């Protein structure tokens, strides 16, 4: 579901877009650590990171701990997250000293469902994602100039052309994706090599983890994101789509 863009969303100049495109091209051959270092040098302290504690986010957090652990990192806590996801936050804090902040919608799950006559994820998952995630990120974005994400190009067709650095018109921020050109294998090789904490649900067939009502384990031969909003035709929450 789309909604009105907040008045505070900034529109970049053509010159700024050209500059970002040049940076993105230049960083295409850089390592994720080099990309993060560039982002920190250019945007910190007005640089933030959103993480759902997926394997990519955990890898970036391990790098950020060495490069600049003061970067503000947050999680969009919809109220429907798996307990394993919530517990991973504590394991990350213990290992790296980075305490990921929970950013929540104004209404609790109980208030939200009461107001809407039941779980919105069952009747309109797009609206649920918009109100429990997109609106919250709009609120957080007002305090920053750039944000980092853990998306990879090989995750889905919507992400196939994601630049390393680009303009996120939805949130009015520069968007930096240090792992955009990495593969799933590279991510998991790094996790294993460095013993990076990760969500134990991955060991139970959950290749991509979101909210518990809308996530299932994938079956043999299925796409890695097939377990998200299964049977609905929905494949993205909206955070990483242009519309």
The residue extents of the domains of the chain are 14-214
Cβ partners under 8 Å of residue 12, min gap 6: 20, 167
Question: Is residue 11's pLDDT more than 90?
Answer: no
CATH topology of domain 14-214: Rossmann fold (3.40.50)
Question: Is residue 241's pLDDT more than 90?
Answer: no
Residues β-bridged to residue 146: 47, 174
Least Cα distance to 109 among 81, 140, 86, 130 occurs for 81
pLDDT band with cut points at 50, 70 and 90 for residue 242: low
pTM, rounded to two decimals: 0.92
Cβ partners under 8 Å of residue 181, min gap 6: 28, 152, 153, 164
C-alpha distance from residue 135 to each of 114, 172, 203 (Å):
19, 13, 32
SS3 (DSSP) at 146: strand
| Catalytic entry in 128, 129, 211, 237 | 237
Per residue in 168-194, pLDDT tens?
Answer: 999 999 999 999 999 999 999 999 999
For the chain, the first-to-last Cα distance in angstroms comes to 9
Least Cα distance to 125 among 6, 223, 4, 133 occurs for 133
Q: What is the predicted pLDDT for the residue at 221?
A: 86
Q: What is the predicted pLDDT for the residue at 6?
A: 46
Provide the pairing of β-strand 101-103 with 72-76.
parallel
Residues β-bridged to residue 147: 48, 175
For the segment 224-237, the average pLDDT, to the nearest whole number, is 87
Q: What is the predicted pLDDT for the residue at 113?
A: 98
Q: What is the predicted pLDDT for the residue at 225?
A: 85
> Within 10 A of 52 (CB to CB), how many other CB atoms are there?
22
For the segment 195-217, the average pLDDT, to the nearest whole number, is 96
58 belongs to the catalytic site: no
Q: Share the mean pLDDT of the chain.
A: 93
Which of 3-12, 23-32, 202-211, 220-229 has the lowest average pLDDT?
3-12
């Amino acid at each position: 579901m789309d909604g009105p863009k907040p008045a505070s969303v900034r529109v970049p100049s053509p010159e700024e877009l050209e500059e970002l495109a040049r940076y993105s091209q230049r960083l295409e051959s850089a390592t994720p650590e080099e990309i993060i270092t560039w982002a920190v040098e250019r945007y910190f302290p007005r640089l933030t990171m959103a993480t759902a504690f997926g394997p990519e986010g955990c890898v970036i957090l391990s790098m950020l701990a060495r490069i600049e652990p003061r970067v503000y990192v947050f999680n969009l806590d919809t109220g429907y997250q798996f307990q394993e996801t919530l517990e991973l936050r504590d394991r990350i804090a213990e290992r790296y000293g980075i305490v990921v902040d929970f950013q929540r919608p104004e209404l609790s799950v109980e208030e939200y469902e009461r107001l809407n006559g039941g779980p919105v994820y069952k009747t309109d998952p797009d609206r649920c994602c918009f109100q429990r995630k997109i609106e919250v990120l709009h609120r957080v974005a007002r305090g920053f100039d750039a944000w980092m994400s853990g998306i990879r190009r090989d995750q889905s067709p919507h992400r196939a052309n994601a630049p390393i650095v680009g303009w996120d018109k939805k949130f009015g921020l520069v968007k930096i994706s240090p792992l955009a050109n990495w593969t799933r294998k590279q991510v998991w090789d790094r996790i294993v090599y460095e013993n990076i904490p990760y969500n134990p649900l991955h060991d139970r067939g959950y290749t991509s983890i979101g909210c518990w009502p809308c996530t299932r384990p994938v079956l043999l031969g299925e796409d890695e994101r097939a377990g998200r909003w299964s049977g609905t035709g929905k494949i993205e929450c909206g955070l990483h789509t242009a519309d």
